[in-house]
Amino acid sequence: MADIILIQPKAGEYEAAGIRPPDSLLAAAALPHEKGYNIKIIDQRTDKNWKMLLKNHLKNALCMGTTAMTGQQIKYALEISKFVKENSDVPVIWGGVHPSLLPEQTLKNKYIDIVVKGEGDYTFYELIIAIEKQRKNPNKDYLKNVRGIYYKKNGKIIRTELRPFLQDLDKLPNLPYDLVNMNDYFGFTIKEGKSITLMTSRGCPFRCAFCYNTVYYKNKWRGMSAEKTIERIKYVKDKFGVKNIYFQDDNFCANVPRFKKIIDLILKEKIDITWGLLGSRINSLKYMDEKFLARVVKAGCINIDVGIESGSQRILNLICKDIDLKEVIEVNKKISKFFTKTKYTFIMGIPSETEKELLQSIRFALKLCKDNSHVLPIFNILFVNPGTAMHNLALKYGYNEPKNLEKWANSGREGEYKEYPWLSKKMIKMMENFEFTSFFATKNIDYKISKKYLKLLAKVYQPIAKYRFKNNFPHFLIEKRLASVLSRSVK
Ligand code: B12
Ligand code: SF4
């Protein structure tokens, strides 16, 4: 049986804090693996000789699949796809958020043959079967019956019927961790001891103007049952002896009864695990009373990440965040007694944001830090997700959107923001300072850093970062360049 090759591309400096398992590819691989296909996963981040490995597997391959988020990862996924095309005639398949948002534009690239739009769990399995049949009988078009793909045929782009969102996540097989060397992926930690990432739900019911969710999942939230979630927790705990889990769901608490049941079950079954949430909202925390929050912490929750986005109510209303600054202050005070780390993320550079409003956000973040010593405020420069309401707003402000796949590789934080027509040079300088120094301005970054010497460096740099952050002092930011060199050298 021919091999199905999947390659995880690098994602650049973002992985300096530790490499996470290739969950997107593992999810796509789960069903075909269960059905007996030979899946080979190569990881460009950890396999230094990935080209040689790939070349060997290409000799007996049915197809090669890779994944991409908007931004730098596209550059690496393109490098992989080019290599495949130059060394074989194996079909190249792209999945993931970026190709799903812009399938036709992605397919215009000469190195890509098929795009899987949206959830790939079932689509990929059906696609493999179709490619197998197509190989045996090249004159027939088997791809047209696979829902949720775009492909090229005689120079034209064909789009098949849309695949509806998965309804029952409980039916999904476990991620096939045996296909990779998991020891490569425990470097990303949220606390001492082995950590792993898990995803127990998809989507989010909210409507934030900048978020991919509004387009990608169309505000549809679906979650595994509380029981299945517990089963997955126990599975990774038993299999790998992990001590910590970082749930990467966009909105883990969207379904409150499910969340409560998960907490009840962890406590009832005395599961010894610490965990953190990548996606939670002020609204959800608002409805949790102190008694319940104490149970959440008792069940092992040590950190939560919450999107605040701005300290200006005008900006919050503009981006449909549906939160109120007063309630942020109240919730922050309430949770200060509970979670040992609370990461608040902010977005800078939204069209029409003034210098005054940006500084308002900094002051607001400092107030949150003052009221709650566990706060880690992180400031990111706006990155325009294709197809979102923010994308439309940016276009109104003269945004010159990337016109092809290669150009999307430079989007947002990769430097494109310097070309946003609504930003002055002064604003850009301020934002670059806040983006870098927010990481280190408090001692709370340490849980995101696993390497001891990096922890120490962060500690030494902290007073300088704090000064720069607090006083808007962006001049001579040479340490940012040094950090960039350092992060490249530790990969
Ligand atoms: C882990 C993670 C990362 C990891 C790496 C992940 C990776 N896949 O390489 C790191 C830390 C490096 C990272 C970095 C960044 N990330 Co990130 N990340 C995530 C996160 C939290 C989880 C991704 C994941 O594993 N999902 C689980 C899998 C199962 O879902 P999935 O990826 O959608 O995969 C399904 C389908 O898309 C499809 N599929 C995916 N790939 C493939 C491949 C094939 C061949 C097939 C057939 C199918 C298929 O099938 C899967 C199963 O249904 C998501 C948020 C989220 N909750 O999903 C953000 C997210 C993907 N990141 C995002 C962003 C913006 C970034 C950053 C720019 C930083 C930032 N500000 O957050 C950087 C830069 C990355 C870059 N441009 O190079 C955005 C992407 C938006 C976009 N337009 O692409 C997301 C959606 C977060 C968000 N809410 O905005 N990220
Ligand atoms: S709450 Fe978070 S995940 Fe949900 S739409 Fe807003 S930004 Fe996206």
SS3 295: helix
pLDDT at 485: 63
Both tokens assigned to 189 = 């930690």
Residue 487's pLDDT band (boundaries 50, 70, 90)? low
Counting from 1 in the atom list of ligand 2, the atom nearest the Cα of 281 is 1
Give pLDDT, residue 97. Answer: 97
Look at ligand 1, atom 83, and give the residue with the nearest C-alpha. Answer: 70
**Sheet arrangement for strand 61-67:** 38-43, 3-8, 61-67, 92-95, 114-116, 149-153, 156-159
- The answer on 319 and 228 residing in a single domain is yes
Residues 19 and 109 in one domain: yes
What does residue 181 show for φ and ψ, rounded to 5 degrees? Answer: -90, 95
Condensed to tens digits (0 to 9), the pLDDT of residues 464-484 reads: 999 999 999 888 888 887 777
**At residue 78, what is the residue type?**
L
Which of 201, 204, 210, 218 to mutate to test ligand 2, by most ligand atoms within 8 A of the CB atom? 204
480's enclosing H/E stretch is helix 478-490
**Within-domain flag for 169:** no
Q: How many residues does the chain have?
A: 491
Asked whether residue 363 falls in the same domain as residue 243, the answer is yes
Total domain count, the chain: 2
Boundary residue ending a domain (106, 131, 159): 159
Residue span of the structural domain in which 368 resides? 176-489
Residue 301 lies in a domain: yes
302 and 401, same domain (yes or no)? yes
Ligand sitting nearest the alpha carbon of 306: 2
Same domain, 188 and 45: no
Whether residues 83 and 232 share a domain: the answer is no
**Side chain identity at 379, as an amino acid letter?**
F
What DSSP string describes 234-262?
HHHHHHH--SEEEE--S-TTSSHHHHHHH
Q: For residue 244, is it within any domain? A: yes
Please give the pLDDT value at position 490.
Answer: 44
Domain final residue pick, 127, 159, 191 = 159
The CATH number linked to 409 is 3.80.30.20
At 13, the pLDDT band (50, 70, 90 cuts) reads: confident
Mutate to test the pocket of ligand 2, among 101, 201, 202, 206 (most ligand atoms within 8 A of CB): 206
Residue 27 inside a domain? The answer is: yes
Ligand 1 cavity residues, CB under 6 Å: 11-12, 14-15, 20, 23-25, 27-28, 65-67, 69-73, 93, 95-98, 100-101, 116, 119-121, 124, 199, 211-212, 248, 250, 278, 380, 383, 385, 413
Are residues 114 and 252 both part of a single domain? no
**pLDDT over 60 at 488, yes or no:** no
For residue 375, the cross-strand partners are 342
> Per-residue pLDDT tens for 147-185?
999 999 999 999 999 999 999 999 999 999 999 999 999
Considering the domain architecture, whether residues 153 and 207 belong to the same structural domain is answered as: no
127 with 216, same domain? Answer: no
Reported as a single tens digit per residue, the pLDDT across 325-371 is 999 999 999 999 999 999 999 999 999 999 999 999 999 999 999 99
Residue 121 lies in a domain: yes
Mean pLDDT along residues 7-24: 89
Number of other CB atoms surrounding residue 488 within 10 Å = 11
Question: Does residue 358 belong to any structural domain of this protein?
Answer: yes
Q: Ligand 1 test: best mutation among 8, 19, 24, most atoms within 8 Å of CB?
A: 24
Instruction: Read off the pLDDT of residues 67-114 as tens digits, 9 standing for 90 and up.
Output: 999 999 999 999 999 999 999 999 999 999 999 999 999 999 999 999
**pLDDT band at 225, cuts 50/70/90?**
very high
How far is the centre of ligand 2, averaged over its atoms, from the C-alpha of 56 (Å)?
A: 42
CA nearest ligand 2 atom 1, residue: 206
Residue whose Cα lies nearest atom 80 of ligand 1: it is: 69
Q: Name the residue of 66, 69, 151 whose CB sits within 8 Å of the most ligand 1 atoms, as the mutation to test its pocket.
A: 69
Which residue shows structure tokens 């350092």? Answer: 486
Instruction: Flag whether pLDDT at 380 surpasses 80.
Output: yes
Within a domain: residue 166? no
Q: What is the CATH number of the domain that holds 81?
A: 3.40.50.2300
Asked whether residue 141 falls in the same domain as residue 192, the answer is no
Q: Which has more pLDDT, 226 or 409?
A: 226
* CB proximity list for 490: less than 8 A, separation 6 or greater: 16, 451, 454
Domain match, 144 and 182 both: no
First-to-final CA distance of the chain: 35
- Does residue 170 lie within any of the structural domains? no
> Ligand 1: which residue has its CA nearest to atom 28?
24
Task: Using the mean position of ligand 1's atoms as its centre, give its distance from the Cα of residue 8 in Å.
Answer: 11
pLDDT attached to residue 412: 66
Proximal ligand: closest to the CA of 19: 1
What pLDDT digit, counting tens, does each position of 253-282 carry?
Answer: 999 999 999 999 999 999 999 999 999 999
- Judge if 426 and 369 occupy the same domain: yes
| Domain termination site, one of 159, 192, 220 | 159
| Whole-prediction pTM | 0.95
Query: Crossing angle, helix 425-440 and helix 452-471, to 10 degrees?
Result: 140
